[in-house]
Chain A
Amino acid sequence: MDVMIELSGVSKNYGQLKAAENISFSLHKGEILGFLGPNGAGKTTVMKIITGFMPPDSGNVKIKGVGISKDPVGTRKSIGYLPENNPLYTDMTVEEYLRFIASMRGLGDPDKAISSALSKCGISNVSHRIIGHLSKGYRQRVGLAQAIIHDPEILILDEPVNGLDPKQIAEIRTLIRDLGKEKTVILCSHILSEVEAVADRVVIINEGRIVADDRIENLRERSKGGNIFVLELLEIPVDAIEKIKEIQCVIKAEPSGAGIFRIVAAGEKETSNLIFETAVRNNWKLAQLYMEGSSLENMFLDLTEGGKK
């Protein structure tokens, strides 16, 4: 497979702050990579470096085998970029904006490129409206249209669904998934479910360093045995902790507040059922029982909070 993006030892400091430290990964053609990390982890910095917006302090970035410092203009041609917060010229109409981008990219047939980007992003009906008057969801689509207008091989999207409502999020996700069929995509987000929904592979970054880089299935596999269940009882039986610990696949259980137990156990729904059955067998009065986040989420929290300690 062709390597589309290759980072080796990329570092960037802002004064004392290490925004990116020795970041290395590569991305093959057709992959959708989720670039995940809490806010301020350095995701945007890495994206700005890949897109050639700013140079790294050290390290190399290659786009399709060509170093971006060697051919900054050429390498940018194969990248479509939706920056964080989706900056737009709000006083232009959608069409004016896309026409400007098309000319900046020196496209041969701007009309065709514009109409294709408009229809792919579902904004043909607002093409004559001023961007500043559009809703956030539509603006986000305009930003995406800007990023795909030249039909790039590589698409870099920095927090593309930030601040959208659930319906808009679902729509943009579908759009990204469609685009991902033919393009190499990096999707930045601080929300795991965002990335989980569309990406094949995840790179997790924390405080400027990569803490995990794996396929989603592998990460799920690795995180088995680490789910947290919360059980709340109306009355507090004396031997509850012991009884819970006896349940198969429970790794750890501890009380957290009046009648509340946090249980670390493998498995998902089956485990919930086992806990429930134990409660019924012992005549405990069950107030609630739920799984606190998915297994991947726990892992993400572990990985990113671990760095802070």
Chain B
Amino acid sequence: MKYSLVIMKKELSSYFNSAIAYIFFTLFLVITGFLFFRLYFLIGVVSMNDFFSIIPWIFLIFIPSVTMKSWAEEKKNGTMEVLLTMPVKDVELVSGKFLAGSLFVLIAIILTSAVPLLVSMTGELDWGPVITSYIGLAFLASSYVAIGNLISSFTSNQVSAFLITAVTAFILMIIGTEPVYSVFPASMGDLIRNLSLSYHFQSIQRGVLDSRDVIYYLSIIFLFVFYNIRSLESRNW
């Protein structure tokens, strides 16, 4: 665990030492803020619902851009060889990278708390669903990170890591939307919807933190982190 934190620190400082982190945060806040407030004043209802519906889709672009380099860059630069010959277990390396990515995205999520504060000034805001939605966002974002890190470990090309992650996450999102799952027969459609990242988030967004949804996200994270460890074990590049 100690070494996971060492890796995490190294990853985070590599984000914050360059302009990437600040550009990322600024763009993320401006884009989410713009997309939300553009309609907020037209609709005139004091609710954060639209905000939390937009963010998962914005994540599709932003999170792969965070995770694309995690392993791909190490492989490309050859630093993977330094990293993997350290007296550290693979699980510590993988969890360190996962923690770093999740923490980074979590900071971006926390920064958006300016939005509900602004909204609460315009009227009576129901904070319950806002808080559960934030918790849901943290789970959703961490799942994206776990997926992105695994995909980054398959390639040394950051652009392909970005694109494949975005596509994978997109598929896992849209299978929870009605136009997609309703194509399938009812029982199968239900299963597919249950596997989606978006369905569980929608359920949390309503203001109820159901253990089923939490278990779903934890399983997704565990699964992808586990396969990330496996993919390091089968190193043959």
Q: Which residues of A contact B (CB under 8 A)?
A: 14, 48, 51-54, 73-74, 76-77, 79, 81, 83-85, 87-92, 96, 100-101, 103-106, 146
Q: Are A106 and B10 in contact (CB under 8 A)?
A: no
- A85-B78, A89-B79 given; A51·B6 CB < 8 A: no
Give the shortest distance, in Å, between A91 (CB) and chain B (any CB). 6
- Complex: A73 Cα to B84 Cα, angstroms: 10
Q: What residues on B are CB-neighbors of A14 within 8 Å?
A: 236
- Complex: A171 Cα to B6 Cα, angstroms: 33
Q: Are A104 and B86 in contact (CB under 8 A)?
A: yes
Q: What residues on B are CB-neighbors of A92 within 8 Å?
A: 14, 17
Q: What residues on A are CB-neighbors of B78 within 8 Å?
A: 83-85, 87
Q: Are B6 and A73 in contact (CB under 8 A)?
A: no
Q: Are A88 and B79 in contact (CB under 8 A)?
A: yes
Within 8 A of A (CB), among B76-99: 77-89
In the complex, B38 has a CB within 8 A of chain A: no
- Complex: A290 Cα to B74 Cα, angstroms: 48
Please name the residue on chain A nearest to B10 by beta carbon.
A100
Contact pick for A74, options B77, B80, B86, B87, CB 8 Å:
B87
Please name the residue on chain A nearest to B77 by beta carbon.
A87
Q: Are A76 and B85 in contact (CB under 8 A)?
A: yes
Please name the residue on chain A nearest to B76 by beta carbon.
A87
Contact pick for B86, options A48, A76, A84, CB 8 Å:
A76
- Complex: A248 Cα to B85 Cα, angstroms: 55
- A83-B82, A87-B81 given; A53·B6 CB < 8 A: no
Q: Is the interface of B mostly helix, strand, loop or mixed?
A: helix
Q: Are B87 and A73 in contact (CB under 8 A)?
A: yes
- A87-B79, A100-B6 given; A51·B14 CB < 8 A: no
Give how many A-B residue pairs fall within 8 Å (CB-CB). 68
Q: Are B82 and A87 in contact (CB under 8 A)?
A: yes
- Complex: A73 Cα to B7 Cα, angstroms: 16
In the complex, B3 has a CB within 8 A of chain A: yes
Q: What residues on A are CB-neighbors of B88 within 8 Å?
A: 73, 104
In the complex, B235 has a CB within 8 A of chain A: yes
Q: Are B82 and A146 in contact (CB under 8 A)?
A: yes
Q: Which residues of B contact A (CB under 8 A)?
A: 2-3, 6-7, 10, 13-14, 17-18, 77-89, 235-236
Contact pick for A91, options B18, B84, B89, B235, CB 8 Å:
B18
Give the shortest distance, in Å, between B201 (CB) and chain A (any CB). 35
- Complex: A88 Cα to B87 Cα, angstroms: 18
Give the shortest distance, in Å, between A99 (CB) and chain B (any CB). 10
Q: What residues on B are CB-neighbors of A76 within 8 Å?
A: 85-87
- Complex: A146 Cα to B235 Cα, angstroms: 23
Please name the residue on chain A nearest to B73 by beta carbon.
A89
- A74-B87, A103-B6, A106-B2 given; A54·B235 CB < 8 A: yes
| Candidate in B18, B79, B86 with the most chain A CB atoms within 10 angstroms | B86
Closest 8 CB pairs of A and B: A87-B78, A83-B81, A76-B87, A103-B6, A104-B86, A51-B85, A87-B79, A77-B87
Q: Are B14 and A89 in contact (CB under 8 A)?
A: yes
Q: What residues on A are CB-neighbors of B6 within 8 Å?
A: 100, 103-104
| Candidate in B6, B7, B77, B87 with the most chain A CB atoms within 10 angstroms | B87
Q: Are A104 and B3 in contact (CB under 8 A)?
A: yes
7 A–B pairs (Cβ distance < 8 Å), ordered by A: A48-B81, A53-B81, A88-B77, A89-B10, A89-B77, A103-B3, A104-B83
- Complex: A105 Cα to B85 Cα, angstroms: 10
Q: Are B79 and A79 in contact (CB under 8 A)?
A: no
Give the shortest distance, in Å, between A90 (CB) and chain B (any CB). 8
- A83-B78, A100-B6, A100-B10 given; A53·B85 CB < 8 A: yes
- Complex: A100 Cα to B86 Cα, angstroms: 11
- A14-B236, A73-B87, A76-B87 given; A91·B17 CB < 8 A: yes
Q: What residues on B are CB-neighbors of A54 within 8 Å?
A: 235-236
Give the shortest distance, in Å, between A210 (CB) and chain B (any CB). 23
Please name the residue on chain A nearest to B88 by beta carbon.
A104
Q: What residues on A are CB-neighbors of B77 within 8 Å?
A: 87-90
- Complex: A156 Cα to B81 Cα, angstroms: 13
Q: What residues on B are CB-neighbors of A79 within 8 Å?
A: 85
Give the shortest distance, in Å, between A81 (CB) and chain B (any CB). 5
- Complex: A79 Cα to B80 Cα, angstroms: 16
Q: Are A106 and B82 in contact (CB under 8 A)?
A: no
Q: What residues on B are CB-neighbors of A84 within 8 Å?
A: 78
